[in-house]
């Protein structure tokens, strides 16, 4: 049998290993958040004067004066990329917020208003999931008349389904909890129970769902603008930048695609990393693992 000293050493190694894993998670969380913060700061700090047409600076390769080079109209690609990412982040935040609100309302209603409402909402969720994402978004954006509001509306109405199922299952588990039954026995209203008991219990899932929704929203915003739905060509959006650059790749202007596309992938990965790390830190089961 192992001695007490050996058991203490083994426990110490386990605690130290868990501490190192938690430190790595916090480090990745800090790095990802810091990178996104830098992008936001640069997007506000860089002047709009760099977006003006400049015939003398057309098609310049990356250099110290223009880190990302310039496009065929002499516009600075670093400025265009940063401001396009800021637009993607703004659209992502607003569309994700609307999607989270829809998912929360639908999930709570499905779990609390009886089998008939649950069946209807579950059918709606299956209907939305069965539709091809991009086709559905293009259709909604076209019906809404395009523009930034059309993009936000199309993304918001197609990204709530997965979170709604999670909220529904969480509420169904919470409903049978003893403290909920005690609160009902004291005559508390359903609104009071939802506000004081249900919402605080499902808030971590809602917040994690909001963060994990961000990567999908940003990619779909870029896809819609790439296809020409929504924004004018003068708007510095990542999708528009990539779409315009496609006709110049064959002429050797690689920087027009590489830098915007690479930063878009990094931003998406940062949000995915933030959501995943927070999910592990906030969920007890994952945290213990």
Helix (H) or strand (E) holding 246: none
Higher local confidence (pLDDT), 19 or 195 = 195
What is the token pair recorded at 65? 């004066």
Query: Which among 64, 48, 66 is positioned nearest to 56, based on CA atoms?
Result: 66
pLDDT tens per residue, range 163-217: 888 888 888 888 777 878 787 787 777 777 777 788 888 888 888 888 888 888 8
Instruction: Tell me, yes or no, whether 144 lies in a domain.
Output: yes
pLDDT tens per residue, range 234-279: 777 888 888 888 877 777 788 888 888 899 888 888 888 887 877 7
Instruction: Tell me, yes or no, whether 169 lies in a domain.
Output: yes
d(CA 174, CA 182): 13
The CATH number assigned to the domain holding 130 equals 1.10.3720.10
Q: What is the mean pLDDT of residues 130-159?
A: 83
Tally of domains within the chain:
1
Instruction: Tell me, yes or no, whether 134 lies in a domain.
Output: yes
Average pLDDT, the chain: 80
Instruction: Tell me, yes or no, whether 54 lies in a domain.
Output: no
CB atoms < 10 A from the CB of 98, how many? 17
Share of residues in the chain with pLDDT > 90 (%): 2
Determine the pLDDT at residue 226: 82
- pLDDT category at 43 given cuts 50, 70, 90 is confident
Determine the pLDDT at residue 230: 61
What is the token pair recorded at 241? 């930048």
Q: Where in the sequence is the domain holding 266, given as residue range(s)?
A: 22-42+76-282
Instruction: Tell me, yes or no, whether 121 lies in a domain.
Output: yes
Query: Which among 205, 203, 204, 217 is positioned nearest to 271, based on CA atoms?
Result: 217
d(CA 217, CA 148): 13
Instruction: Tell me, yes or no, whether 2 lies in a domain.
Output: no
- pLDDT category at 134 given cuts 50, 70, 90 is confident
- pLDDT category at 222 given cuts 50, 70, 90 is confident
Residue 73 CA neighbour count, 13 Å, CB half: 12
- pLDDT category at 7 given cuts 50, 70, 90 is very low
What is the token pair recorded at 203? 């808030």
Tracing tokens 């639908």 back to the chain, one arrives at 106
Instruction: Tell me, yes or no, whether 190 lies in a domain.
Output: yes
CB atoms < 10 A from the CB of 82, how many? 25
Q: What is the mean pLDDT of residues 136-154?
A: 83
pLDDT tens per residue, range 147-177: 788 888 888 888 888 888 888 888 888 877 7
d(CA 56, CA 123): 59
Instruction: Tell me, yes or no, whether 15 lies in a domain.
Output: no
Q: What is the mean pLDDT of residues 68-96?
A: 86
């Amino acid at each position: 049998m192992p001695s007490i000293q050996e058991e203490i050493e083994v426990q110490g190694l386990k605690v130290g290993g868990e501490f190192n894993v938690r430190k790595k998670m916090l480090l990745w969380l800090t790095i990802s958040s810091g990178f996104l913060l830098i992008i936001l700061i640069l997007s506000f700090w860089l002047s709009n004067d760099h977006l003006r047409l400049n015939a003398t600076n057309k098609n310049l390769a990356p250099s110290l004066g223009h880190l990302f080079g310039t496009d065929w109209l002499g516009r600075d690609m670093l400025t265009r990329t940063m401001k396009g990412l800021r637009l993607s982040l703004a659209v992502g935040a607003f569309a994700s917020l609307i999607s989270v609100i829809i998912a929360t309302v639908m999930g709570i209603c499905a779990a609390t208003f009886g089998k008939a409402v649950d069946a209807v909402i579950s059918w709606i969720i299956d209907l939305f999931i069965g539709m091809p994402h991009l086709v559905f978004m293009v259709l909604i954006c076209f019906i809404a008349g395009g523009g930034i509001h059309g993009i936000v509306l199309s993304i918001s109405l197609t990204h709530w389904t997965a979170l709604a199922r999670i909220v529904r299952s969480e509420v169904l588990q919470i409903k049978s909890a003893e403290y909920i039954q005690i609160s009902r026995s004291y005559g508390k209203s359903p609104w009071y129970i939802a506000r004081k008991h249900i919402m605080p219990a499902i808030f971590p899932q809602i917040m994690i769902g909001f963060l994990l929704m961000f990567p999908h929203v940003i990619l779909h915003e870029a896809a819609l603008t790439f296809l020409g739905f929504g924004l004018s060509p003068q708007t510095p959006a990542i999708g528009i930048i990539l779409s315009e650059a496609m006709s110049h790749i064959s002429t050797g202007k690689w920087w027009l695609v590489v830098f915007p596309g690479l930063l878009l992938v990094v931003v998406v990965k940062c949000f995915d990393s933030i959501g995943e790390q927070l999910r592990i830190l906030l969920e007890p089961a994952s945290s213990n693992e």
